[in-house]
Amino acid sequence: MTLTGNGNGNGNNRDVSNERSFGGERPNALELAWVRVRAHLRSEYGDAAFKNWLRSLTLLRASGDKVVLAVTSKFWRDWIAAHYGDRLVALWKAENLGFNGVEIVVNAVEAKEPRPRGDALEMPQRETDEARPQPAPAAMNGEEPRLGDVQNLCTPLDPRLTFETFVIGKPNEFAHAAALRVAEADEIPFNPLFLYGGVGLGKTHLMHATAWRLRMRNPARRVMFLSSETFMHLFVKAVRYKDTHAFKEQFRSVDVLMIDDVQFFGEKSATQEELFHTFNALVDHRRQVIISADKPPVDLQGIEERLKSRLGSGVVAQLNPTNYELRLSILQAKAEQKGVAIPSKVTEFLAHKITSNIRELEGAMTRLFAHATLLNSREISIDMAQEVLQDLLRANDRHVTIDDIQKRVCEHYNIKMADLLSPRRARAVARPRQVAMYLAKQLTTRSLPEIGRKFGGRDHTTIMHGVRKIEELRGGDPSLNEDIEILTRSLTR
Amino acid sequence: MPARQLVLDLPHRAAQARGDFLVAPCNEAAVAWIDRWPDWPAPGLALYGPAGSGKSHLAAVWQSRSGAVAVSAAALRGGRIEARYCVFEEGEALLRDRGAAEALFHLYNRIAARRGHLLVTGAEPPARWTLPLADLASRLRALPAVEIRPPDDAMLSGLLAKLFRDRQLAVPGEVILYLVQRIERSCAAVARTVEALDRASLAERRPITLPFARATLGFA
């Protein structure tokens, strides 16, 4: 938008063609003049108006005999031009720098050329195209890849997830050693390797690292790595296209088959059947199979017994919840990797506060880096961490009441509040009751007698027993464990 | 009218370009994140803030820039979505919908594997969503979450001015500054105020001046 006699501002001119660039002398004069013009505007229109309307106006450059100013939206441009345009032109003329008019452009990043991602793509086998976002066609249930394209459906290996970047600590050292062993062995050491652990503890990282190492040691080896969901998807399609023969061939001709998150196979019996046969065929032909899940084979729900026992017939390795030391090492390693200096007070703070899992811990760190290095160029401090991560930190700090807990437990297990508080000892209500007692102990500051009163006037020893019972069971019962995690999260959100 | 849809969006369906978005301190962090795409450090981004704060507008801006597919809970349940860039605006709808949550989990994995991006929006940050699937919850919690705060003065002024102008009403700046100090600080209140003044001005055939606004809205 041009504010002078020649009115050829065409509305969306983000760039100025007949631009005049200056060496060194004029920009300074220009900037000084802009300071004066702003001061005039502020004194003429008052602080409030200045802040509300003119704050967003910035000096861009000089272009011919015009000054080019920028705002962040079309609306501000129109508003400022309509209300302050004349004054702006007059003030600039009065600066005697030879300007005859003012042009206001919208400085929004409207159609910025997508830049390649900043991440270093140091590993091979990744096409550069893959790293560069392109407007993606809306492919919804439309053109799906044919079976022959199975390689495209394999999980692409993430160059950041290697053994080198995997931080080892007590909770994960066994799983790490087992994966490394498989990755580096010339003869199959055990089959299958079954990795399991809770959410975000590094299963997928170990899978990627293993696949990388296998490929690097022997590029000719056919490594197929896919999610259980993709496996199911391919199988369902093969059945639909009556092409199960090709499907079988595809999977049975690989040297290493890796399937992530098999807990999602639950209740899908035809796919399970197929996995079972594929699995047997591969093992019989001395091919390596690597599986990951959130539970050990025996606890997988909806999975047939014979498949469970097959899955558990090699090495079963657990990724345990993190401890403070491991969290701290992970944060330090990540900072080093990114080349960002982060005070040890901040890493300690994060390792102490974000205990849920590694993914969230790393996510928090990533947010801090992004905030510090790219948005504000600020130093990383505890204050900044508290501000940037407020949603995560506060999520753990919410005040929880026993009433909340009882209500939520009843909803979760679909039982009546009256039953929860009753003396009934049927397991269907006794277990949820104990879970509620346990949560009341963990999430509130109430004493055991107080909790007892809230549970239909029970004795505090009953509460203590319930709490202990759940503590014991938690270790060996992943589904109970998951219930408690879900409830805790929902209560402390 | 569903509570989450902003009144002020209705006349501006077409104007969802980045240049139409009012940038003010309450949303500049969110805008900065959208503007720096594709340089996002994670497989996605979460935008959160109260209804009417402009989440959908920003999501639409990003969508047009990235070619992302808008995904609903129903679409998630309906079948496998292959797009590399997706917007999911029904964060809170997942809370009781295990099927959709599971589908979003798989979609997230495919997006992450292909180095695409998923933009999710909601009134609360994902850290406070009670998702029925722990695997999805942890993925969403690990995304950068950026808040769009309730509107500040600059935002309210801009919005008032914009809505007046959209109705072809010439309203002096002083009236807008006066209103900003007095109305409830929400985009919905801005829309209601503009509507009320417009109607009164039409009915009484009087221009919107300071005394008129004061009398119409009953401010002392």
Would you state the pLDDT for residue A6? 39
Structure tokens that stand for A463 in this block: 């509460």
Rounded CA-CA distance B184/B70 in Å is 32
Chain-chain contact of A49 with B173 (C-beta, under 8 angstroms): yes
Tell me whether B76 touches chain A (CB under 8 Å): no
Q: How far is CA B22 from CA A46, A79, A240, in A?
A: 22, 12, 50
- Name the helix (H) or strand (E) containing B120: strand B117-122
CATH code matching the domain that covers B153-217, chosen among 3.90.1260.10, 3.30.70.20, 1.10.8.60, 3.30.420.10: 1.10.8.60
What is the bridge-based pairing of β-strands A315-319 and A288-293? unpaired
Chain A nearest-CA distance from B45, in A, is 10
Residues written for chain A: 493
Give B197's pLDDT tier (boundaries 50, 70, 90): very high
Binding-face residues of A in 268-297 toward B, CB within 8 A: 294
Residue B187: is its pLDDT beyond 80? no
What pLDDT, on a 0 to 100 scale, did the predictor assign at position A449?
79
Residues 90-129 of B with CB under 8 A from A: 102, 106, 109, 113-117, 124-129
With an 8 Å Cβ cutoff, is A493 touching chain B? yes
Fold type of domain A150-319:
Rossmann fold (3.40.50)
Question: Does position B14 have pLDDT exceeding 50, yes or no?
Answer: no
**What are the chain B neighbours of A55 within 8 Å (beta carbons)?**
154
Q: Given the DSSP bridges, would you call strands A288-293 and A193-197 parallel, antiparallel or unpaired?
A: parallel
Nearest residue on chain A to B45, alpha-carbon basis: A367
Residue of B nearest to A127 (CA): B114
Average pLDDT, chain B: 83
| Beta-carbon separation of A136 and B158 below 8 A | no
pLDDT score of B9 more than 50: no
pLDDT of A23: 40
d(CA A261, CA B108): 14
Nearest to B142 among A112, A363, A490 (CB): A363
Q: Pick the residue from chain A with its C-alpha nearest to B43.
A: A363
- Looking at beta carbons, which residues of chain A come within 8 Å of B85? 133, 135-136
Listed in order, strand segments (DSSP E) in A54-141 are: 58-63, 66-71, 101-106
What does DSSP assign to residue A423? Answer: S
B134 lies within 8 A of chain A by CB:
yes
Tell whether A362 lies on the interface with B, counting CB pairs under 8 A.
yes
The nearest alpha carbon in chain A to B177 belongs to: A49
Which residues face A139 on adjacent strands? none
> Looking at the domain A324-395, which fold is it?
Helicase, Ruva Protein; domain 3 (1.10.8)
CA distance A418 to A322: 38
For B106, the closest chain A residue by CA position comes to A229
Q: Classify strands A288-293 and A58-63 as parallel, antiparallel or unpaired.
A: unpaired
Q: Report residue A234 as tokens.
A: 């391919």
Interface of A with B in 375-394 (CB under 8 A): 375, 391-392, 394
Cβ–Cβ below 8 Å for A136 and B83 = yes
Nearest to B158 among A75, A155, A158 (CB): A75
Chain B residues closer than 8 Å to A73 by CB: 18-23, 158
Under a CB-based contact definition with an 8 Å cutoff, are residues B183 and B155 in contact? no
Residues in contact with A390: Cβ distance below 8 Å, sequence separation at least 6, in sequence order: none
DSSP conformational letter for A314: S
Q: pLDDT value at position A437?
A: 94
For domain A402-492, give the CATH number. Answer: 1.10.1750.10
pLDDT given at position A130: 37
Chain A: give the shortest CA distance to residue B90, in Å: 18
Record the tokens describing residue A382, joined without a space.
């505890």
Nearest residue in chain B measured CA to CA from A411:
B96
Residue B44 φ/ψ, nearest 5 degrees: 180, -170
Domain locations along chain A: 2-106, 150-319, 324-395, 402-492
Distance of CA B63 to the CA centre of its chain: 13
Contact A213, B60 (CB under 8 A): no
Token pair listed for A356: 């849920």
> Tokens 């801090």, residue?
A368
- Say yes or no for a CB contact (<8 Å) between A200 and B138: yes
Contact yes or no for A127/A92 (Cβ under 8 A): no
Cross-chain Cβ contact A114/B38 below 8 Å: yes
Give how far Cα B169 sits from Cα of A54, B10, B194, Å. Answer: 21, 18, 10
How far, in Å, CA of B19 to CA of A374, rounded?
Answer: 22
Contact list, A110 vs chain B (CB under 8 Å)? 17-19
* Cβ of residue B68 closer than 8 Å to a chain A Cβ: yes
The Cα B71–Cα A136 span in angstroms is 14
Distance CA A330, CA A202 (A): 11
The candidate with the shortest Cα–Cα distance to B194, out of B166, B163, B170, is B163
* Two structure tokens written together for B3: 């509570």
Domain covering B24-147 assigned CATH 3.40.50.300 in the classification: yes
Structure tokens of A437? 């007692």
Beta-carbon separation of A392 and B127 below 8 A: yes
With both helix axes pointing from N to C terminus, report the angle between B153-166 and B187-204 in degrees, rounded to the nearest 10. 40
Element at A429 (helix H, strand E): helix A427-443
- On whether any CB of chain A is under 8 Å from the CB of B12, the answer is no
Between chains, do B69 and A362 touch, taking CB under 8 Å as contact?
A: no
The alpha carbon of residue A315 is apart from the nearest alpha carbon of chain B, in Å, by: 24
Across the interface, whether the CB atoms of A363 and B141 are under 8 A apart is answered yes
Are A286 and A189 contacting, i.e. CB atoms less than 8 angstroms apart?
no
Asked whether the beta carbons of residue A489 and residue B142 sit closer than 8 angstroms, the reply is no
Question: Is A200 in contact with B142 (Cβ distance < 8 A)?
Answer: yes
**Chain segment B16-40, per-residue pLDDT in tens:** 566 666 777 788 889 889 988 898 9
Can the peptide bond before residue B207 be classed as cis, meaning omega within 30 degrees of 0?
no
- Per-block mean pLDDT, blocks of 10 residues, chain A (493 long): 48 37 54 87 82 79 86 76 85 87 74 37 33 35 42 78 94 96 92 93 95 90 90 86 83 90 81 86 91 92 87 94 94 89 91 90 91 72 87 68 91 92 91 94 75 89 89 86 87 71
Q: Are the C-beta atoms of residues A215 and A209 closer than 8 Å to each other?
A: no
CB pairs under 8 A between A and B: 205
Secondary structure in 3-state letters for B147-162: ECCCCCHHHHHHHHHH
Closest by Cα among A423, A191, A420, A384 to A284: A191
Nearest chain A residue to B125 by CA: give it: A391
| A266 in contact with B, Cβ within 8 Å | no
Q: Please state, in angstroms and as integers, the Cα–Cα distance from residue A126 to each residue in A120, A158, A216, A220, following that order.
A: 11, 9, 14, 17
Q: Do B116 and A79 touch (CB under 8 A)?
A: no
**Closest residue on chain A to B124 (Cα):** A391
User: Residue A274's Cα: distance from chain center in Å?
Assistant: 32
- The answer to whether residues A223 and A256 touch, using CB atoms and an 8 Å cutoff, is yes
For A456, the 3-state DSSP assignment is coil
Question: H helices within chain B, ranges in order?
Answer: 28-36, 55-66, 73-78, 98-113, 134-141, 153-166, 173-182, 187-204, 210-217
CATH of domain A2-106: 3.30.300.180
pLDDT average, residue stretch B181-203: 84
Q: Which of residues 148-207 of A touch B (CB under 8 A)?
A: 155-156, 158, 198-200
Q: Which residue of A has its CA nearest to B138?
A: A360
Q: What is the pTM of this model?
A: 0.64
The Cα B27–Cα B32 span in angstroms is: 9
Among A111, A118, A136, select the one facing B85 at the smallest CB separation.
Answer: A136
Residue A52 carries which DSSP code? I
H or E segment to which residue A310 belongs:
helix A305-311
Residue of A nearest to B25 (CA): A56
> A128: exposed, middle or buried (C-beta count within 10 Å: 0-12, 13-18, 19+)?
exposed
- Chain B nearest-CA distance from A97, in A, is 30
Cβ A150 vs Cβ A218: under 8 Å: no
**CB spacing of B31 vs A72 below 8 angstroms:** yes
The C-alpha R_g of chain B, in whole angstroms, comes to: 20
How long is chain B? Answer: 220
| Domain residue ranges in chain B | 24-147, 153-217
- pLDDT of res. A108: 58
B60 interaction partners in chain A (CB closer than 8 Å): none
